[in-house]
């Protein structure tokens, strides 16, 4: 089921779309979504786990259904954050332009949320030329420093694409490191939201 469209005669619904492999989801992902919603006055942010992340084939550890369940558990109870199974339920590779087309609708303004590291690689995305017509680009900087308000976020992106910058507190945590910790049997508490930690343990994810 597609997310609801809420619109009035006075304003459009402002919706953030935050995709990723979330392998596993961690606290920096959640903080990025929450802070982007606050900074840009978004009505809600939809997290979209990739079903078949074609650029990371061979390096994704957890099945798509498990990654979806982890994200759902991670944001449960957090105001304004939702999860969409669109890409997990879609056959074939996960292309962002298809997701944005599916989420677009009358009375809805979309904001595509990506990390600064992702922005640097977006020029390789399939359908990148379609994205400016679908959503405003939002680049999240996890360094803790306030990013510049203007200027292109990376080389090779479509010219004239509206871009907003959001800074979040420095959080040096990565999914790669978390998978390694889980494989060693080390705790993930404090680094991964409690609901997602519970699923990782219950399903034996990332263990040798």
Q: Is residue 24 part of a domain?
A: yes
The structural domain count of the chain equals 1
Write out pLDDT tens, residues 143-176.
Answer: 766 555 555 566 778 888 999 999 998 888 999 9
Q: Is residue 127 part of a domain?
A: no
Q: Is it the case that residue 2 has pLDDT exceeding 90?
A: no
Q: Is residue 79 part of a domain?
A: yes
Beta strands 81-83 and 44-49, pairing class: parallel
Q: Is residue 38 part of a domain?
A: yes
Domain that holds residue 193: 13-110+172-203
Write out pLDDT tens, residues 92-149.
Answer: 888 999 999 999 999 999 999 999 889 888 999 999 999 999 999 999 987 766 555 5
How far apart are alpha carbons 133 and 161 in whole angstroms?
Answer: 8
Q: What predicted TM-score, i.e. pTM, was given to this entire model? A: 0.90
- Domain of 22, CATH number, reads 3.40.50.620
């Amino acid at each position: 089921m597609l997310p609801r469209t809420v619109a009035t005669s006075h304003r459009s619904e402002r919706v953030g779309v935050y995709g990723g492999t979330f392998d596993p989801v961690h606290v920096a992902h959640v903080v990025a979504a929450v802070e982007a919603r606050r900074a840009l006055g978004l009505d809600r942010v939809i997290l979209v786990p990739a079903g078949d992340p074609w650029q990371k084939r061979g390096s994704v550890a957890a099945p798509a259904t498990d990654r979806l369940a982890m994200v759902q558990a991670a944001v449960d109870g957090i105001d304004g954050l939702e999860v969409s199974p669109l890409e997990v339920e879609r056959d074939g590779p996960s292309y962002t332009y298809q997701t944005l087309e599916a989420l677009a609708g009358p009375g809805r303004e979309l904001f595509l949320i990506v990390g600064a590291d992702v922005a640097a690689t977006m020029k390789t995305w399939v359908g990148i030329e379609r994205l400016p017509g679908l959503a405003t680009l939002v680049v999240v900087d996890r360094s803790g420093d306030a990013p510049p308000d203007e200027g292109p976020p990376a080389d090779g992106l479509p010219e004239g694409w509206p871009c907003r910058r959001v800074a979040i507190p420095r959080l040096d945590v990565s999914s790669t490191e978390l998978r390694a910790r889980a494989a060693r049997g080390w705790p993930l508490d404090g680094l991964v939201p409690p609901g997602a930690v519970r699923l990782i343990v219950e399903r034996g994810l990332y263990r040798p």
